[in-house]
Amino acid sequence: MEGICNISIVPMRAEPTSKSEMTSQLLFGETYSILMEEGDWVKINTHFDNYEAWINRGQSCLTDERFTDKLITVCSFPFLKLETENGAMIIPAGSTIIGDNGEFNLGNKKFNYKLTDLTQTQGIINTSKQYLTTPYLWGGKTPFGIDCSGFTQSVFKQNNCKLFRDAKQQAEQGESISFLTETIAGDLAFFDNDNGEIIHVGILLDSEHIIHASGTVRIDKIDNFGILNNETKKYSHKLRIIKRII
């Protein structure tokens, strides 16, 4: 069975219970396959990034449609307002809408939006800076709360580039860059823990500065050792690898 997110945001959880941690979020218009069901929960696999998690059955919308119309990633920051027969719906940047004529249908629901409200691709750096001061939220993917890999994924999605969901998965993409002095704006820097596991990712603004989600989305200095927090003047993350995606 196939499904589509027809509400603003749906939390995705590690286990089939509301007490389980939120590992990611479904945003409006994102599609998925249903893998299994358990009580009030369904386990899904997202089509965009092949991510598996559980969502509440009450927030699952089944569909047999194959969306062949033009798919548009919402770049309007921080949200786009859709009009429905039941009132306005706010969907966050990074969501997906179908068609570019100001209206579309999902099942028996009709959605309208103003074409003038759509924002075009801003570029990796400009898009990333829009998220500055966004609070950190484990599993988050929106301007209202975001984690480090959700931040990089959302920024790149709004610039027509697909990244996997987790930092360790993103670290397997792209071309390796040997030295910070060889980097360009938009390269991704990855950081590991004492066990060598990738635990953090950010976007390089240049060879000395990085924008990343840590507490909030912020800009800090970076050198060959890692990220130097501008406030504490201490290293917060240890540099492991640099990748060029675009």
pLDDT (tens digit, 9 = 90+) per residue, 117-160? 999 889 999 999 999 999 999 999 999 999 999 999 999 999 99
DSSP letters along 87-126, please?
Answer: EEEEEETT-EEE-SSSEEEETTEEEE--GGG------HHH
Same domain assignment for residues 155 and 228: yes
Check 5, 75, 212, 237 and give the catalytic one: 212
Same domain assignment for residues 90 and 167: no
Whether 148 sits among the annotated catalytic residues: the reply is: yes
Whether 47 sits among the annotated catalytic residues: the reply is: no
| Domain carrying residue 223 | 124-244
Residue 105 is predicted with a pLDDT of 87
Percent of the chain at pLDDT > 70 equals 100
Report the pLDDT averaged over residues 187-192.
98
Check 5, 200, 209, 237 and give the catalytic one: 200
User: Domain ends where: 92, 119, 146?
Assistant: 119
Residue 234 is predicted with a pLDDT of 96
Q: What is the pTM (predicted TM-score) of this model?
A: 0.95
Same domain assignment for residues 129 and 233: yes
pLDDT (tens digit, 9 = 90+) per residue, 69-89? 788 999 999 999 999 998 999
Cα dihedral value 157, 161, 165, 167, nearest 10: -120
The mean pLDDT value of the chain amounts to 95
Check 5, 148, 161, 237 and give the catalytic one: 148
Same domain assignment for residues 92 and 29: yes
Same domain assignment for residues 34 and 111: yes
Total number of domains constituting the chain:
2
Residue 99 is predicted with a pLDDT of 82
User: Domain ends where: 84, 119, 154?
Assistant: 119
Whether 212 sits among the annotated catalytic residues: the reply is: yes
Same domain assignment for residues 172 and 147: yes
pLDDT (tens digit, 9 = 90+) per residue, 191-245? 999 999 999 999 999 999 999 999 999 999 999 999 999 999 999 999 999 999 9
User: What does the alpha-carbon distance between residue 236 and residue 220 come to, in Å, rounded to a whole number?
Assistant: 10
The CATH number assigned to the domain holding 109 equals: 2.30.30.40
The CATH number assigned to the domain holding 176 equals: 3.90.1720.10
Q: Is the dihedral of CA 10, 6, 1, 154 positive or negative?
A: negative
